[in-house]
Structures are given as C-alpha cells and as structure tokens.
Amino acid sequence: MSTAVRRFATTPEPTLDATPTATRPTRSVSTRGAVAPPSRRGRRAARAGGLVAAVALLAVIVVLSIAVGAKAMPLADAWSGLLHRDAAEYAVVHRMRLPRTLLGLLAGAALGVAGAIMQALTRNPLADPGLLGINAGASAAVATAAAFLGVTAVGGYVWFALLGAATVTALVYAVGGGRGATPARLALAGAALNATLYSYVSAVMLLDTASLERLRFWTVGSLASADPATVTRVLPFIVIGLLVALGAARPLNALALGDDAARALGARPALIRAAVIVAVTLLCGAATAACGPIVFVGLLVPHLVRALTGPDLRWLLPYCAVLAPALLLGADVLGRVLGRPGELQVGMVTAVLGGPLFLWLVTRRRVAQP
C-alpha cells in the first residue's frame, strides 16, 4: 500500500460538529428536583419573621390572660379596667389578672431560657430545671423555710429558693464528674437528687399541717397567688438571669465545639460554665419561689424552638424567651376555662400537655442533640 493510501486510512473522519473541543459547550447535568440551599440572609430574614410572629402570638395570649378568668369578662370591659381607674373592673384587672399575667411572662421566660442553656452546657437533650433537680432544690429550701423558720412571704422565699437552687446545681455538677461530667452522669445525679429532695418536701408537708396548707397550691405550680409585690420581688433576679444567659449565647456556641476549639476562638470555658450556673440559679430560683415547681416548660420549649431555628443560641434563646411564656400563659388560661367556677393549677396543665407533646416529638425523631 502506498504512503498516501496509508495516510488516508489512518486519518479520522471529520464530524458534523466542527466546534473546537476547547470551546465546545459542555452538557450540564440535570438538577431537576434539587433545592438550592437558602442564603444566610434568607435564613436570617426567616428567623426574624418567625420571631415577630411568636411575639404576635404571645401578645394575643396576654390579652386572653387578662380577659379570661373564672368570671367571664368582655374584652371591652377588661380594656376599660386596664386603663381607667374609675372602671368597675379596675380592681380585678390590676390586683389579680395583670400581676398574674406579668408573673407568667417572667416565669415562662425564665424556665424556657434556663432549659435551653442547660441543654447546651451539658449537651444533654433531657436537661431541664426539673429533671436535673434544680427545682427540687429550690422547693426543699422553701419548704424548710416555711416549716421551720416561719417564712411566709415570697420576698423571703426568693432567697431560700436561690440558695437551694445554687446548692443543688453545684451538687449535680460535682457528683456528675465536674469538668469530666458526661450527659448520662449528670442526668443520673439529677434524678437521684430530684427524688430525694421531693421525698423530703413531701415528708415536711405531711408532718406540718400549717406548711401543708401554705404550700399545697405552690407545690403543684400555680400563678393564682400572684400580686404586684410578688412580681416586684422576682423581677430583678429574672432580668439579671436573662441578661447573663443572653450574653453567654455566643460563647456557648463556641463551647459546643469542645473546650480546645472554644479557647482557640477566644472563649474561656470555665468562665462560660460559671456564668451559665449563675444564670440558671437566678432564673430557676426566682421562678420556683414565685410559682412553685412547674414542669416540662424548660424541657419542651427548647426542642420545639430548635426545630425552627437550629442549635444557634443567638436565635434559640430569644425564641424561648417568647414562646415559653406563651405556653405557660396558654396553659394557665386553659386551666381557668376548664376548671370553672374554680380553676386547674398551671403546673397540672403543663404536666398533662407536656408529656404527650414530648412523646410526639420523640416518636417523630425531632429531638436532636443541643
């Protein structure tokens, strides 16, 4: 075969598409059905919008809390009693319903935020003021003050409740292993102290009839005894506790990465833990002194909020500070309506509602690690 024939045989045939390979457009892979991740600005706008909606919901529940009670009151009459001193409903609104609503706002925010920061600090999704024994410590201190020291006013209860909450917080942390504490050890230590202290409270109330009479509504969790003096006494403790907790939000986010990573980011783990303990003591001690031990609010609300905001405490804590009072006041209104002409105490209602709601969250696998 000649050289020309061999050259022709080995030359590739030209294609119909004469576009050079370097400039030929590549086919894109189909992305049908794929969802682009939202931008950071979009997530921030969605979270801000959700927080505004939560505030609006809380405002509606506050209005219902003032207007709804054992005695039916039209909304116009409640509004008149709120604004006009000469109105017939002024005494009912200002001496009973308004202090009760304000106390529900403060206690709900305290319990919700305390539960969120405890779950973040211990990395335990079951951590809350009730399960870790902090409410039980405050209750035991208040029962001791009422039975043996003759303390009957909320102003005296507050100091004993703070002391009891601080003592049990330190005990749980120490028994759980201190710096080497694990979520399981903290939960076991809290459960043991919780059972022991509530047994002590029950024994004190059974042995002292006067204490039983004074504390029988308080021990189930109630807003019924709220008055302006109660709100005034617990307000400073709860406000300081909320400010400390909100200030610890960013360092707690860093601590979730581990102590070494937190130090690399400029955080101080020991100081963060101390600040959280101070905040939890102030929040739980003041709320328990004023309302008694109210369960499930500090456990349930952070999990509901975390499904909306994720684990970022800079958003989680403001949401908890709004939605936990909404849950507490909503339960209080429901107890007043269902118990007419009397009422069901709010601690009973939150226990009845909180158990099934938390089980629903667990069965739907929406309970995530903090």
Q: What is the pLDDT along the chain (370 residues), one digit of tens a residue?
A: 444 444 444 444 444 444 444 444 444 444 444 444 557 777 888 888 899 999 999 999 999 999 887 777 778 888 888 888 877 788 888 888 899 999 999 999 999 999 999 888 877 777 777 777 888 888 899 888 888 887 777 777 888 888 898 888 888 878 877 666 666 777 788 888 888 998 998 888 888 777 676 677 677 788 887 888 889 989 999 999 999 999 999 998 888 887 788 788 888 888 888 888 889 889 988 998 888 888 889 988 998 898 888 889 999 999 999 999 999 999 999 998 887 777 888 888 998 888 888 787 777 655 555 6
Quick check: is 82 in a domain?
A: no
Total-model pTM: 0.82
| CB-count burial class (<10 Å; 0-12, 13-18, 19+) for 339 | middle
Name the residue type at position 111.
Answer: L
CA 96 to chain centre: 26
pLDDT at 224: 83
Quick check: is 27 in a domain?
A: no
Quick check: is 264 in a domain?
A: yes
The owner of tokens 């349930």 is: 300
CB 302 within 8 A of CB 316: yes
| CB-count burial class (<10 Å; 0-12, 13-18, 19+) for 324 | buried
Q: Structure tokens of 128? A: 């809350």
**Is the bond preceding residue 341 a cis peptide, omega within 30 degrees?**
yes
pLDDT at 4: 46
Task: Supply the DSSP string of 189-202, one letter for each residue.
Answer: HHHHHHHHHHHHHH
Helix (H) / strand (E) containing 138: helix 134-148
CB 294 within 8 A of CB 147: no
CB 234 within 8 A of CB 154: yes
| CB-count burial class (<10 Å; 0-12, 13-18, 19+) for 234 | buried
Quick check: is 171 in a domain?
A: yes
Q: Measure the CA–CA gap between 119 and 127, rounded to whole angstroms.
A: 5
CB 254 within 8 A of CB 262: yes
CB 278 within 8 A of CB 335: no
pLDDT at 178: 65
How many residues are listed for the chain in this entry?
370
Q: Measure the CA–CA gap between 306 and 368, rounded to whole angstroms.
A: 8
Q: Measure the CA–CA gap between 364 and 361, rounded to whole angstroms.
A: 5
Quick check: is 14 in a domain?
A: no
Quick check: is 1 in a domain?
A: no
Q: Measure the CA–CA gap between 287 and 281, rounded to whole angstroms.
A: 10
DSSP code for 179 = G
CA 14 to chain centre: 72
Quick check: is 233 in a domain?
A: yes
Number of domains comprising the chain: 1
CATH number for the domain including 126?
1.10.3470.10
Quick check: is 62 in a domain?
A: no
Provide the residue range defining the domain that includes 330.
105-363
| CB-count burial class (<10 Å; 0-12, 13-18, 19+) for 311 | middle
Give residues with Cβ within 8 angstroms of 248, minimum separation 6: 117, 272, 275, 276, 279
Question: To 10 degrees, the CA torsion angle through 119, 120, 125, 131?
Answer: -10
